[in-house]
Amino acid sequence: MYTVLAYCFFQEEIKGMNVRARRYRMMDMTEGNPAVLLLRFMVPLLVGNIFQQVYSMVDMMIVGRYVGPDALAAVGATSSLNFLFFSLCNGLSNGVGILIAQAFGAGQPGTVKRLIANAVYIMAGSALVMGALGFILSRPVLTLLGTPENVIDQSVVYMRVMCIGIIAVSMYNCVAAILRGIGDSRTPLFFLVVSSALNVVLDLFFIRSLGLGVGGAAAATILSQLMSAAGCIAYSLRHNPMFLIDREQWKMDRELIQKCFRIGVPLAVQSSMIALSLVVLQSVVNSFGSVVGAAFTATSRVEVLVQQPNNSMFAALSTFTGQNIGAGKQERVKKGFHQAVLLMLLFSAVMTPFFQFFSENVMRLFVEAEQGAEVIAYGARGLKLTSLFFAPLGMIGVCRGVLNGAGDAAYSVISGICEMVGRVAFPKPLTMIPSVGVWGIWLGTAFTWTLVACASLLRYWSGIWRKKAAITRKDGNGAEPISQQKKGGD
């Protein structure tokens, strides 16, 4: 009798959870048309990602125009290293988000709350370790990479300021991943838009008014990210019931932390491999001097902006897959994958012609035509080359969304290895071919995208991802076990 009553109670609890989900901006993606759900979820992400990249580009524009081309090259020389030292925090944030999506889809609100609580311990520790390492190793590693003498001092300043503020970036990324996991892609958008505007104001104040150079650009980015993170946390504590965590749920849960690391560390390894490969690529770029370095920095920023629809689809698919894997609905995942591929191909068909005709106009946003004619020429041709490979780039995002959302940790390592091999194996040999020369830098990037896309498709077609869920429904009806509810249910 007790079991029957408990079952009825928990069924009502889960129904109530679905009602509250709509009220508190949470989206249940286990029901409804996948394409509609993905578009509804990804549009706020896309707007937020574009804002984020726009203010990153504004950093580059202000630095390039008001400090000079050398400063632009200096910031570009640190991008791959910053990516490397931030990779562990980002990977763990994504791991937490995937587990939360699976727990939410499985109808386990208590597990969601314990994951949020334990994410605080995970992110604080990882940010402290990686920030300290990045600060200490910045100059030795930049020297090892052959960073030009005329930019290395500025590069060290920029990287050290970013490492001091790594906790702010990690806080925002983790809270955003948590909210995405429970289907809320709008709350992070609002605070990101506010912080984007703040970043532009701080850029101009620190660089133009105070003359702080690249250090001012880094400080503006960190302060704006901190404001965004604080806003998300404050709003969620006040308006989202999943953030109302009691004392019992704040206890460290070794099992959940292990699951976060089991998914998050391979994602971090993937990011680390990509970052290491970018470090190697940066050394090839550095060998061609600061002009090519500035052009590559600008084109990299543009390509990152172009990738935002793919990244938004990746995040939407990751949440969609996580929730449906948790609910045991693998066939919905396949349907979502096929519809996402069609959307990605449509976007590629629009963007490739744009960059074939307007790449020079885009490059003029970064440097003055009179001062940086060579930078514009190199960057424009580089964009024309890489834009021909936007479809393979988009396929990577779609496959990663499904495979990462399913908790396929092995794929993360496979993908990272493929990207590392491509970025190490392609650019240097290509630049040594007389008829290719410096353009091997951009062709190497394009060939790497193609290699990773092929490996990702093969992994998806293998079907291994179907059995990788870390959190699933505990019975056929989705009720959370009584022991779990007592430990920290709603």
Q: What pLDDT, in 10s, does the model give residues 336-374?
A: 999 999 988 988 888 889 988 888 888 887 766 655 678
Note whether residue 414 is domain-resident: yes
Give the pLDDT confidence of 144-158 residue by residue, as tens digits. Answer: 877 777 888 888 888
Cα first-last separation, the chain? 22
Average pLDDT over residues 252-276: 80
**Does 75 have pLDDT greater than 70?**
yes
Tokens 């996991």 correspond to what residue?
A: 181
* 313: in domain: yes
Residue 64, domain member (yes or no): yes
**Cα(38)–Cα(29) distance, integer angstroms:** 8
DSSP 8-state symbol, 479: P
DSSP state of 240: -
Mean pLDDT of the chain: 79
Residue 6: per-residue pLDDT: 34
Residue 181 lies in a domain: yes
Is 12 part of a structural domain of the chain?
A: no
Decide if 121 is inside a domain.
Answer: yes
pLDDT at 21 over 60: no
- The residue among 25, 83, 136 whose CA lies nearest residue 273 is 83
The domain total for the chain is 1
The reported pLDDT for the residue numbered 103 is 83
Q: Is residue 42 in some structural domain?
A: yes
Would you say residue 353 lies in a domain? yes
94-122 pLDDT, tens digit per residue, is 888 888 888 887 777 888 888 888 888 88
What is the model's pTM? 0.72
Please give the pLDDT value at position 308.
80
Domain ranges, residue 32: 26-478
pLDDT in tens, 383-437: 889 889 999 999 998 998 899 888 888 888 888 889 888 988 898 899 888 888 8
Task: Name the nearest CA neighbour of 404 among 17, 57, 95.
Answer: 95
Which residue, among 311, 310, 273, 307, has the nearest Cα to 412 in the 3D structure? 273
Q: Which pLDDT tens digit goes with each residue over 314-344?
A: 888 888 888 888 888 888 889 999 999 998 8
d(CA 3, CA 269): 44
Question: Would you give the DSSP letter of residue 207?
Answer: I
